């Protein structure tokens, strides 16, 4: 199986956290912040899978789906957005995306969407990835909340019912204790 993936999202914090999680699962990861960079990486690196944010400055994720499909008929794409609607989901599928997920979505959600594709079902089995440890599950939950708060530590701490300094310590200490 070709374990190359491109993540296209204008939210750098979310994009980098997702990239880190895919790298932990032995994927070769490329990242882009928008349409132009994303299309360039599709043409240059030819990733097997692409995760595309719907709403980005400049050209939209739907436009990237169409351009990617034109460049490579076999590329597998999932559209990821915080602004889900039936109309945009239908349009994404019509333009060539395989699936449409709403944020917050984590690596397992995304891999599950790719695994549901009948062409990839045998290559990315759902049970290939072990259940995350309690520490990993906590880390991913904290990151989903933090991403939903646009990186605002104080707001995320409030939503998580933690003291801001406790959250900062968790964010600093987790990478060293992996």
Region 152-157: mean pLDDT is 91
Express each pLDDT in 12-45 by its tens digit.
Answer: 988 999 999 999 999 999 999 999 999 999 999 9
Query: What is residue 101's three-state secondary structure?
Result: strand
Express each pLDDT in 57-116 by its tens digit.
Answer: 889 888 999 999 999 888 999 988 776 666 777 777 788 888 888 777 888 889 888 887
Does residue 119 surpass a pLDDT of 90? no
pLDDT recorded at residue 146: 83
Whole-Å CA distances, 58 to 34, 80, 99, 102, 165: 8, 17, 23, 21, 37
Give 92: exposed, middle or buried? Use CB within 10 Å, 0-12, 13-18, 19+: buried
pLDDT band of 120, cuts 50, 70, 90: very low
pLDDT band of 130, cuts 50, 70, 90: low
pLDDT recorded at residue 49: 94
Rounded to whole angstroms, how far apart are CA atoms 95 and 158?
40
Nearest one of 169, 165, 171 to 145, comparing CA atoms: 171
**Sheet of strand 49-53: strand arrangement:** 28-32, 4-8, 49-53, 76-81, 99-102
What class, spelled out in words, does domain 134-177 have in CATH?
Answer: mainly alpha
Query: What is residue 149's three-state secondary structure?
Result: coil
Helices (H) and strands (E) in the chain, counts: 8, 5
- Domain locations in the chain as residue ranges: 4-128, 134-177
Structure tokens at 121: 């079902």
Lowest-pLDDT choice from 2-6, 98-102, 166-170: 98-102
CATH homologous superfamily of domain 4-128? Response regulator (3.40.50.2300)
């Amino acid at each position: 199986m070709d374990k190359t993936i491109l993540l296209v999202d204008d939210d750098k914090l979310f994009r980098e956290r997702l990239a880190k999680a895919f790298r932990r699962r032995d994927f070769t990861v490329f990242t882009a912040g928008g349409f132009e960079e994303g299309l360039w990486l599709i043409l240059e690196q030819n990733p097997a899978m692409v995760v595309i944010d719907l709403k980005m400055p400049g050209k939209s994720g739907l436009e990237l789906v169409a351009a990617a499909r034109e460049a490579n008929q076999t590329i597998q794409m999932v559209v990821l957005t915080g602004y889900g609607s039936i109309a945009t989901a239908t349009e994404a599928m019509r333009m060539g995306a395989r699936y449409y997920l709403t944020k917050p979505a984590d690596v397992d959600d995304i891999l599950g969407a790719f695994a549901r594709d009948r062409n990839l079902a045998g290559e990315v089995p759902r049970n290939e990835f072990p259940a995350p440890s309690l520490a990993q599950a906590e880390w991913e939950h904290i990151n989903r909340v933090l991403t939903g708060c646009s990186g605002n530590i104080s707001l995320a701490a409030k939503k998580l019912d933690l003291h801001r300094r406790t959250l900062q310590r968790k964010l600093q200490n987790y990478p060293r204790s992996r």
